[in-house]
Chain A
Amino acid sequence: MGQAEDFDETLERLTPGLRRYARALLAGAANDLADELVQTALQTTADEARNDSPSAVLDLRVDLYATLTHAAQRRLRAAAPHRPSLRQPAIMHRLADLPFEERETLLLVVLEGFTYDEVARITRTDRPVALMRLMRARSALTALDRHPSPGAEAGRRTGPHLRVVK
C-alpha cells in the first residue's frame, strides 16, 4: 500500500501543472472543460498505471500529459473551440490561433518544461517533428507579435524555418 500512497501523492503533486497545461491547451477559454479533461487524464492514467507493472510508473508524468493531450484533441475536434474572451491577455489569443499540434508542443516545452524527447513521446511523434512544430509555433507567435522587429523578422518568415545561420 505504501507504493500506492506514493503514487497518489505523485498524481496530486502533478495536478496543478496539469490544470495549467489543460487551460493553456484550450487557450484559456473554458476552465470547466479543462478540469474535466484533467479528471479524465488522472483517472485513466491511475487505472492504467495500477494495472501495469510498477516500472511503467516511471513515466507517469509523460503518460498523464499524453492522456490529457489526446483527450483535449478529441474534444476540440468534436466541438468548435471557444475563443478566449477579450479581457484575456494577448498571448492567449495568439495561442488560440496556433494549430493544435504546435500549441501542444510549445506549451509542453515552455510551460511544463518537458524535454524534446518527452514531448515527442507525449505527442506520439519523433524529435525532429516535435522540434519543427516548436519552431513553427515560436515563429508564428513572433510574427503575430504587435511589435515585431522587422529586421530580425524578414529572413525568418519564409521558408521551412530550418534556415542555416552561418
Chain B
Amino acid sequence: MSPREHVDESDLHAFVDGELDAENRRRIEDHLHSHAEDAALVEGWRRQNAALRAAFAQTVKEPVPAGLRTASVTSLTRSFGSGVNWARFSPSKGASLRAMRRSDTSRRLPRRPAIVMSLLTLLAGAVVASAALLAFTGPASPPAPVQRAVIEPPGLVAHAQLAYQTFAQDSRPVEIGADRKAELSTWLGERAGFGRLPDLSAAGLELIGGRLVPGVLSPAGLLIYQSSSNARAALYFERAGGEHPSAAPPKTAPGLAAVEWRAVGFAFVLIGPLAAEAARAAAESAAAQASR
C-alpha cells in the first residue's frame, strides 16, 4: 500500500487503536505534527480510552465468583459431549449443601433470588406492556408463532423440581415400583421415549420406581431413588432438542441440588437433597448409563 496524501478520520481512529503498520503510523504522526486540530482530537480519544479503562479496571482484579469458575469445568461435559448445569442455590458459596441444611435457611435468605425475582417481575411487566401495545395497535404486525425446539429456562429445572416435590415425598411416590422393572421400562419407553432405568447403586441410591409425569412440552419420566438414609432423589427426563442445558444457571430450592444435562435427544435433571459431590456422582453414573 503506497502512502497516501490524505488522512481521513478513520485513519486517526486506526492510529489510536494500533491498527496501522509502521509506515502508516509514521505518516499519521507527521500529519499530527502539522495539524493541531487533529492532534487534539487524537489526544481527546486517548483520554476517553483511559477514562473507560479506569472505570472498569477494578472488575478484573475482583476474585471471580465460584459459580463462574466452575461453569466450564465439568468432567461430565467432556465425557458425554453435552453441557451440564450445576444448580446451586447460593452461587457464590457453592460449597456444602449439608452445611446449608444444618443452618437455619430461613434466616439466610439469599439476596440473589430477590434480584432475579425483581428482574422477572420487570420482564413480566414488559411482556404485558408489549402485549397490550400489540392488542391496541391492531393486526399490523401479528406476532410470529413461537416454535421452541429447545426448552428454555426456567422451564426445565423448575419443572423437574416441581415433579420431585410433588411425588418424591408422597406416600405413593411411584406408579410402578422397582419390582416391576420390565413393565416400568416399557411404559416409560412408549410414552416418554426413554425406557432405561439407570442403576445408581454405585452412588448409594436404590431405584424405588417411576411414573409418567407431564413435562414442559411432552410426557416426561420421573424415576425415584432412595438412599440408605431414606432421602429421595429423582431423575427427570423429557424429550428435548439441543446439546446445551438451559442458558441460565438454574436455581433450586434450599437444600436441593440439581444437575441438568442433555444427551441422546433428552434433557435430564437429577434432583434431590444431596451433597454437591453426591449429586454429581449420581448424575455421572446416570449419564453414563443413559448414553450407552
Interfacial residues, chain A to chain B (CB-CB below 8 A): 1, 4, 8, 11-12, 15-17, 19-20, 23-24, 28, 30, 32-33, 35-36, 38-40, 42-47, 50-51, 71, 78-80, 89, 91-92, 95, 106-107, 109-111, 115-116, 131, 134-135, 138, 141-142, 145, 149, 151-152, 156, 161-166
Contact = CB atoms under 8 A, between A and B. Distances in A.
Contact of A116 (B8, B17, B40, B77): B17
B143 to A, nearest CB: 14
Given A43-B71, A51-B81, A116-B17, A16 B59 contact: yes
Nearest to A149: B40
Interface in B46-65: 48-49, 51-53, 55-56, 59-62, 64-65
Given A30-B119, A138-B45, A165-B12, 14 more contacts: A12-B69, A16-B64, A28-B56, A36-B249, A39-B67, A42-B72, A43-B244, A79-B126, A89-B55, A131-B13, A135-B10, A151-B40, A164-B9, A165-B7
28 contacts: A8-B72, A11-B72, A16-B59, A16-B62, A16-B64, A20-B60, A24-B52, A42-B71, A43-B245, A44-B83, A44-B247, A46-B77, A46-B83, A50-B77, A71-B247, A79-B122, A79-B123, A89-B55, A110-B48, A110-B52, A111-B52, A135-B13, A142-B44, A151-B37, A152-B40, A164-B9, A165-B7, A165-B38
A142 B68 CA distance: 35
A105 B156 CA distance: 35
Helix, strand, loop or mixed for chain B's interface?
A: helix
Contact of B10 (A8, A78, A111, A131): A131
B66 to A, nearest CB: 11
B249 A17 contact: no
B14 interface: yes
Contacts of B40: 149, 151-152
Given A35-B68, A47-B243, A135-B9, A116 B56 contact: no
A133 to B, nearest CB: 11
Interface residues of B, number: 55
Given A16-B64, A35-B65, A134-B13, A43 B83 contact: yes
Contacts of B85: 43
A86 B6 CA distance: 43
B82 interface: yes
Contacts of A30: 119
A108 B10 CA distance: 17
Contact of B19 (A12, A79, A106, A116): A116
Most buried by A among B59, B73, B78: B59
Given A15-B69, A38-B68, A42-B68, A152 B37 contact: yes
B35 interface: yes
Contacts of A80: 122, 126
Contacts of A17: 60
A115 B18 CA distance: 8
Given A152-B41, A162-B10, A40 B51 contact: no
Given A33-B119, A162-B8, A152 B244 contact: no
A24 B69 contact: no
Contact of A15 (B35, B68, B77): B68
Contacts of B244: 43-44, 47
B115 interface: yes
Contacts of B56: 20, 23-24, 28, 111
3 interchain residue pairs of minimum CB distance: A16-B60, A20-B59, A46-B72
A15 B64 CA distance: 8
Contacts of A106: 52
A39 B9 contact: no
